[in-house]
Each structure stands twice: as structure tokens, then as C-alpha cells.
Structure 1
């Protein structure tokens, strides 16, 4: 199982395909803060709520200097359907082999209804302008997470 990142760690580099198959890398965001959030599966109720919340607040985050990237183990075609179905504006990346999920500590043992299994741990990692981990949030709830993030990061909403 992967170890969780800590503030001050260098954020693991990644290059992954987006919903259109274009390669997107963390290095392409140097000089801006990046909210990297990990979610289990596109087109599921909780993940849809979270992605819609990020989309609804994308301009607010951008105005405060943050880019937002969502990563799941879905295939790019499913991400494209997710984006089109829900009219999402957030960048969605496919990590089919879980390498990035594991590098960020967002893949491992979970419990649900008393059952233990291995899967995506809903998590958010804030990366600073120099590519260092600024903040980590593991086992977050889909509903209310974006609102909490806005408060915690002291991002002003209109």
C-alpha cells in the first residue's frame, strides 16, 4: 500500500491522458498552485457531486491562483462521457494503472459497510507553485468537500 504524502514533500511528477487523450503533466502547472483531487469512479453519484462542485467553483479557484485536476482510474473515453454528461469544466485525467493514485497515497485499503477492500481513497492534495505538497486531505467526503476547501484555503467566493 502507498504511503501518504506530507506537507513539504515534493509532489510526485505525472503525465496522464485527459478525457480527449491529450497528455497533461503536473510540470505544466509549475508557477501555479494545483488542487489535485482523486476520486473512485466517473458517473457515480458522489463523484458527480464533487466534480460538479469543483466545476461550479473553477473560476473562483482560478482567480485565487489555483488550477484543479481530477484523477480517477477510469479510461479517457469514460471521462469524456462524464465531462459531456455533466457539463464539467474541470480537467479530468485517467490513471488506469493506479501509479499516480499510489504515488499520492490515494489508493489502498478502505472499509465500507464493515467490508475491507482495496480501492481509490477519495483525497485532495494541494501542490504549491514550486511543486511541493502544501496540504493533504485523505478520506474526504464528496459532499461539502469543495465548500470546506474554499474555507480552509481562504478563497473568497462572490
Structure 2
């Protein structure tokens, strides 16, 4: 009985930790990472991206897995709406850059619309206070290829040009995650527009 109670406490503690990501008002850690856009690698810099406007940094467990495929496809479909609100999208996972070169160009997923960055050691995810869990041995992706990296929890951060978190989106379905991020950047765009009015 004591073991069961202790297990329950541990599970509860883990659940609390799973939502311990950076929150609204926190300073977003700057990062640079090797990323891929439409199958081509380049060096992504959050600091440089923020010079153009808000940045949606979305962490996801792994390319070519169910929810992540849906999320990437939805971001690609909504890309023009994010761009219209002045926002840049960057996906971040523990995938290798080689896997991301394939994922970024895949017409069913990123479709060359936005970049995805490789956080192979999980350093960026940890700096955003996200949990990482190891892949089970033999786990395969939706193409039948083995996944050999850990999974960061699915959480999206909307970051304003001053480098602060405007909204943290987590704990909801992948497509809803994209919708909430879009609503957030559209609110920011409306606020910018209103502040410019005489």
C-alpha cells in the first residue's frame, strides 16, 4: 500500500514538473541551432529572428510521429496567417539535422514553409524548462525507421521582439496548439496596430 501511495506521489510530482515550462513574462533563453528549411541546412539564431517580429518556438517530440506530423502539417497550412501577423515559426526537436532535412521538405508535413531546428542534446529544451524522456528501444517512426533520440514535451512559446515569453501553450492536442499560437500572435499584431493609431 505504501509503495502504491509513494508511486502515486511520484506520478503527481512528475505531472507538476511536466507543466513547469517557462511562463508568460519570463525571459526566453536565446539560442542558435543548426536548422533545416526546405531540405537545406542553415544556422538559426533566435536573436536575429526576433529583429523581424514575434517568434513562435514550438518544441515537439519527434519528426515523423503521429502528433508531430499533424502539428507540422497544421503549421504549414497556417504559415501565411502567421506571416501576416508578422511572426516567424521555428520547430525544435531532438532529431538529427539529417532527419530534419527530410522532414522540412516533406510536402505532407513542413512542406518547405518554415524551418525546424536540431536540439540533438536537448540543451535548448532544458533551457526552456521542458522535460525530456528517452525513446523506448526499438521505437519506430511513421516511416518504420528507428528513433534514436529523446523526446522533448510538446510545448509552444510565443516570444515577443523584446525576448520575453508572451504565451506558453502546452497540454493540448497538436492542431489546437497551433491554433492557440496563431490566436496569440494575431492578438500581438492587433495590439501593435492599435498602439500606432493616433
Q: How many residues are matched?
A: 149
CA gap of 1:151–1:24, structure 2 versus 1, over 3 A, is closer
Structure 1 residues 109 and 77: CA distance shift in structure 2, 3 A: closer
Taking the aligned partners of 1:109 and 1:16, their CA distance within structure 2 comes to 21
Report the aligned-residue RMSD: 2.4
By how many angstroms is 1:90 displaced? 1.4
Give the secondary-structure state (helix, strand or coil) at the position aligned to 1:143: helix
CA distance in 2, matches of 1:67, 1:7: 18
How far residue 107 of structure 1 moved from its aligned partner, in angstroms, is 2.4
Is 1:23 aligned to residue 43 of structure 2? yes
Residues 144 and 136 of structure 1, relative CA distance in 2, 3 Å threshold: closer
Considering Cα pairs closer than 8 Å and 6+ residues apart, tell me whether 1 or 2 has the greater RCO: 1
Matched, 1:96 2:109: no
Higher strand share: 1
* DSSP-derived class of the 2:116 partner: strand
Equivalences for residues 1-158 of structure 1 within 5 A:
3-19=20-36, 20-31=40-51, 32-85=53-106, 86=108, 87-108=111-132, 119-154=151-186
Higher helix share: 2
Contact 2:35 / 2:42 at 8 angstroms: preserved in 1? yes
Moved more, 137-146 or 11-20: 137-146
Cα distance change on mapping 1:66 and 1:59 into 2, 3 Å: same
Secondary structure in 1 matching 2:63 = coil
Change (3 A) 1:92 1:4: same
Is the CA contact 2:94–2:119 (under 8 Å) kept in the aligned structure 1? yes
Deviates more, 1:81-90 or 1:96-105: 81-90
TM-score normalized by structure 1? Answer: 0.83
Normalising by the residue count of structure 2, what TM-score does the alignment of the two structures yield?
0.68
> Could you say what secondary structure the match of 2:44 adopts?
strand
Q: Which runs of 5+ in 1 are unaligned?
A: 111-117
